[in-house]
Structures are given as C-alpha cells and as structure tokens.
Chains A and B, each alone.
Chain A
C-alpha cells in the first residue's frame, strides 16, 4: 500500500497508458483467438505454457491419488481374494474368446489377401492414467498422463475396456488433453454393426447420451443396435464399439428420425484409458494432426452417403 501511494505522487496519472496497454492486449488476444480457432500454429505456445501448468495438475491430483493409494493398500485380504478369483474367471473367458478371435483374424487376413484389399494392420495399445477432468462443466475433456514424449499425437483414438472414449485433441509434452465422444463439439463417424448403416454420432454434453442426427425416418435402425467406429473419419480405427442405440423416434413430418444412443464406455467413471497406435495411421500421416475434433464437413459427407 505504502509503495503504491508513494508511487502515485510521482506518476500522477497512468490512465491513458493503461487504456492503450489494454487495447493492445485486447487486440493481441483477438488475434490469438482467431489464429487458434483456424489453425494449430500455436501448438508450441500451448505446449510451453502447458509444461508450466503440469506440476500444478500433479499437485491438484495428489489428494485423489493419495486416497486411492490408501484405499488400495488397506484393501482386506478377503476382498483381494474375491477380486482375484473373479479376475481369474474373466481371464479364462477372455482367453477362450481370444482363441476364436485369432483364428478369425487369420481367416480375415487370408480373405482380404484374396480380395487384394489392404490388410488391416494390428494396433498397438498403451495404458494412460487420467490426471484430471475438464474444469468446465460443459466440456468433456480428460487430461491424461502421456504426451508427445510417449509418441501421443493429436487426433489419436482413446478407448477403455468397453469401447471408444474419445480422441486426443492436444498432445503436450508430458500430458495431453483428450475430448470425450460426449463433448458437444465432438462428432464421430459410426456404423450399425448389424447392417453396416453409416451415420454420425454427436455428443450433446451428457455422459450417457449420444445423438444421431442424420438418420432418415426409414433408416433400418432399432433400439439395441450396436454402433461401431466405421473408420471413415480417419481418426479412429474401424470396428471399435461406441454405443448402443437407446431410443428411435420417427416423426412423420420431419426429414430425420430422432435417435439417441448410450455410450458403451464408462465415460465418467474411468481412471485408466488406452491409447491406440494403428500402424497404418502413422505411416499415412506422420504429423497425425489433420483430424480436427469437430468435423462438420466430414459429418455431412458421410451423412450424405446414407440412403
């Protein structure tokens, strides 16, 4: 206080300079926003600032991690044994399924080779932990603890054990932000597993609802249909489960039916996520940053294919 007063005696008025400075900064902000909205030239800036925020995230996450640590270390012997036996059973079942899967995969490769189609490459998967969720209630964004140092790239697909979670929108050095499929800004090309009907699943800001806005009234879709990624958007490898159709309301006057689906991944409960590296992706796009989270154009293009 004393300092402010003593200074005020010297510089009597700082208002004009203040106004000028504010206008300059405001102009600069608007410029930044315009550039940031259109291109991703500012990735370097974001990464630099992001690196300074990273320690804060770790500190903020510390109580939660500590609580989890305590919870795990104090789990009783009994609970562990129960969990162990249930995991054992689950592993057996999964292995049994996997046996069939590998046979199918071999067969698929052979058939594709016969058709001279491009062979689907195998995908690499790595586990990442969630550091924090978005602090803005309407944005469904997760911060995960893997970054460009672990070869995470923008547009990379993020899944959990049950299905697709979202995609990386901003890969920092040590952590990256990934947008969930339920974010209002996210649209994902999917197809109905039963009959291959292609459409777009759009987030509406609710963890348990996806909207399928471009399905005509006579589309062959019914509640219970499984939606899987179609691989058309380029960001997601094809064939991962996304959601199960919940309601189909056909309104005679409207051109499109109102269809909602429930994501199969536990969008708001996961602690660990899996990142997918598909070998094809990396070869086609070494930059890997061409897929913007909201692709209205690709949405329309894909939606237009539907009959």
Chain B
C-alpha cells in the first residue's frame, strides 16, 4: 500500500520534473549569437503552466528553489531569479482560476504581461546591482515567450492528459 502510494506520487511528479529539467537545459543550451536576445524564459513559462494547472502541488516554494538553480546555472546574483520566479508564480497561483477560463489568445496576452513583470524586476535588480544590458535583451524574451506560449501549453496539456494520476 505504502509502496504503491509512493510510486503513484513519483509518477505524478515525473512530467513536472522532466519539464523543469528540459526548461533548465534549454535556458543554458548554446544558441547562435543573433538568437540569444530572443531566447524565451523557458523556466518561467514552464512554471507558469504547471502552477496554473496544479497550484496545490507546485507553488512559490518550488519556484524559489528552481530560481536558485537558474541563478547558479546562469551565473547571476544568487536569489535574483528566485525572487522574480516566486513573484510570477505567486500572481499565477493567486489568479489561477480566472487564468484557466481564459481563451488561448487572452491567456497569451496575460503571459506577456507576466513575462513583462518578470523582466522588469530582473531589469530593476540588475540596475541596483550595477549590471548594464541593452534593452533588447529584456524585450526579446517577453515577445518570444508570449508567441511560444500557445504551442507550449498545447504540448504540455497533451503530456499531462497522458500522464497517470
């Protein structure tokens, strides 16, 4: 009984864990120079999706830990992505019931706003910490992220449907 419960628990977590690992890998994978300002914030997108769909299982705590890992992976100030990711996830969880009712287009617009918030706080922290960056590096990921969101959400939904639990 105990074992099967643990097994089911593990099975339920698997899609989430795999998604997060893939998102982390995509955010450190080498891509050509011209494309790098437009690299979507994969980790933020994946977290928005999962916390919107199951806010009870995945919430700000997970987002914070993932954020720390992202900070180390990208070599940014420790706690920077942890803060913005938990903020974005907080907003998502807070309004997850409304968000789920939105049609795809409206949801994409909301994701655009969430990513805007994400990049704005990053920009602000970078400013305080004295890291300068051209503005396209902040605009690029917002736009590409919102554009890729419909594809991502369809993909992850089909994964979630097939997964056990």
Contact = CB atoms under 8 A, between A and B. Distances in A.
The reply to whether chain A is a binding partner of chain B is yes
Interface of A: 1-4, 7-8, 11, 14-15, 18-19, 21-22, 25-26, 28-33, 35-37, 42, 45-46, 49-50, 52-53, 56-57, 59-61, 64, 132-139, 141, 169-170, 177, 184-185, 205, 268, 294
Given A56-B21, A138-B131, 17 more contacts: A3-B12, A4-B54, A18-B90, A18-B94, A19-B90, A22-B60, A36-B78, A42-B78, A46-B72, A49-B72, A136-B36, A136-B133, A137-B36, A141-B75, A170-B75, A184-B131, A184-B132
Given A18-B94, A64-B30, A7 B56 contact: yes
A interface secondary structure, majority: helix
Given A4-B54, A56-B21, A32 B131 contact: no
- Chain B residues touching A, range: 35 or more
A31 B29 CA distance: 29
Interface of B: 12, 21, 24-25, 27-30, 33, 36-37, 39, 53-57, 59-61, 64, 67-69, 72-80, 82-83, 86-87, 90, 93-94, 125, 129-134, 137, 160, 165
A63 B130 CA distance: 35
Contact of A25 (B39, B61, B74, B129): B61
22 contacts: A2-B165, A3-B165, A42-B78, A49-B72, A50-B72, A53-B69, A53-B72, A56-B21, A56-B25, A60-B29, A133-B30, A134-B75, A135-B36, A135-B39, A136-B36, A137-B33, A137-B36, A139-B75, A139-B131, A184-B132, A205-B133, A268-B33
A137 B27 CA distance: 12
A18 B59 CA distance: 8
A205 B132 contact: yes
Contacts of B78: 32-33, 35-36, 42, 45-46
B30 A33 contact: no
B83 A33 contact: yes
Contacts of B130: 185, 294
Contacts, number: 143
Contacts of A3: 12, 54, 56-57, 165
Given A18-B94, A60-B30, A33 B129 contact: yes
A205 B74 contact: no
Nearest to A135: B28
B79 A134 contact: no
Given A36-B79, A137-B33, A1 B53 contact: yes
Contacts of B129: 33, 37
